[in-house]
Amino acid sequence: MKVLANDGISQNAVDILNKNGFVLYLDKIEQDDLTNFINLNKITVLLVRSATKVRKDIIDNCKSLKIIGRGGVGMDNIDVEYAKAKGILVINTPAASSNSVAELVFAHLFSGSRFLFDSNRNMPLEGEKKFKVLKKNYSNGIELRRKNLGIVGLGKIGREVARIGFGLGMNILGFDKFIEEKSIDVNFNDENAYTFKINLISFDEILEKSDFITLHVPAQKNFLIGKKEFKKMKKGTSIINASRGGIIDEQELIKNLDNGKIKFAGLDTFENEPTPSLSILMHPKISLTPHIGAATSEAQNRIGEELAKQICDFYKL
């Protein structure tokens, strides 16, 4: 039983797999060499994150594969249904990184609402000589408390965002096209049975009523937020995307940041990863991170452990 963790895996997962007799390969294999490596070494389990693509060519040409695992939630880099049709088990870790992504959303929200992303650029350059000017520039921030937070997509990550938002005293607005109920409950604390209710409203109402909008949806064929959607938002709305690139029309985003319709944006994912456009990277009203939503030590440990346990369960170890 041989496992290739092509985008890396946590040490606790390595320990679990080694203890159960798996041969583990941790070297990064380039995409073009992947099929040959899998066949040469008779790899039975391929573990990836977002960097490695597992398309039909690999699935068709690597007959030894029994399991394809994705460390994280989204599986748009894997031809999931095709793999399943070929008898390959496809696994992921939908719950393991939820809290990490949700906390990053609020890192961007705090950064934008208090101009931290811009202040941290300018203080090293001008803070010594223009302290009072910068103080004036950054003195009209806003609080998150009592503001409307619109959450689009109420899976595990969206609900974690809601939980933190409730703790901050925000008004939580929710939309999810796959949920038919009028409301859903969110547990506020793992140790106590405090619950808060999210009232579900339409997507258009989210756009019209929210002070902040955060997106938690899978990869889309078309923009979820484009010219029409920006037009429906109220002036001064801010938007966060820590889900998938290509959900927001970035050119329309820039136009609406420039004309003041959108106050600021926080982006962890981009249309053209791993080469985001310079117009996005250099924009003074965008808080930026390089797709690190799940990249905390705690999340990686949970992801690795969950993958390892699913693999052991498959082999009944």
pLDDT tens per residue across span 17-50: 999 999 999 999 999 999 999 999 999 999 999 8
Q: Which residues belong to the active site? A: 244, 273, 291
Could you tell me the pLDDT band of residue 185, with boundaries at 50, 70 and 90?
Answer: confident
pLDDT of the residue at 7: 92
Residue 230's Cβ-count burial label (10 Å; 0-12, 13-18, 19+) is buried
The confidence band for 264, taking pLDDT boundaries of 50, 70 and 90, is very high
Share of the chain above pLDDT 90, in %: 87
3-state secondary structure of 176: coil
Answer whether residue 182 shows pLDDT above 80: yes
For the chain, the residue count is 317
Task: Look at residue 205 in the predicted model and tell me its pLDDT.
Answer: 98
Instruction: Determine what percent of the chain is predicted with pLDDT higher than 70.
Output: 99
CA-wise closest residue to 284 among 65, 99, 174, 122: 122
Q: Which residues of 113-139 are buried (b: 16+ CB within 10 A; e: fewer)?
A: bbbbbbbeebeeeeeeeeeeebeeeee
Residue 145 has a pLDDT of: 98
Tens of pLDDT, residues 200-249: 999 999 999 999 999 999 989 999 999 999 999 999 999 999 999 999 99
Is residue 59 within 8 A of residue 69, CB to CB? The reply is: no
Q: What is the largest CA-CA distance in the chain?
A: 66
Report the chain's mean pLDDT, rounded to a whole number.
Answer: 95
pLDDT in tens, 102-129: 999 999 999 999 999 999 999 999 999 9
Go through the domains of the chain in sequence order and give each one's CATH number. 2-94+297-314 (3.40.50.720), 98-288 (3.40.50.720)
Q: Read off the pLDDT band of 51 (50, 70, 90).
A: confident
| pLDDT tens-digit series, residues 121-150 | 999 999 999 999 999 999 999 999 999 999
* Model confidence at 95: pLDDT above 90: no
Alpha-carbon distance of 192 to 293, in angstroms, equals 27
How do residues 247-259 score in pLDDT, each as one tens digit? 999 999 999 999 9
pTM of the model: 0.89
Strands (E), the chain: 2-5, 23-25, 45-48, 67-70, 89-92, 148-152, 171-175, 183-187, 195-200, 212-215, 237-241, 262-267, 286-288
With cut-offs at 50, 70 and 90, classify the pLDDT of residue 194: confident
| 294: nearest Cα among 151, 94, 45, 152 | 94
Q: Which residues contact 220 (CB under 8 A, 6 or more apart)?
A: 244, 246, 247
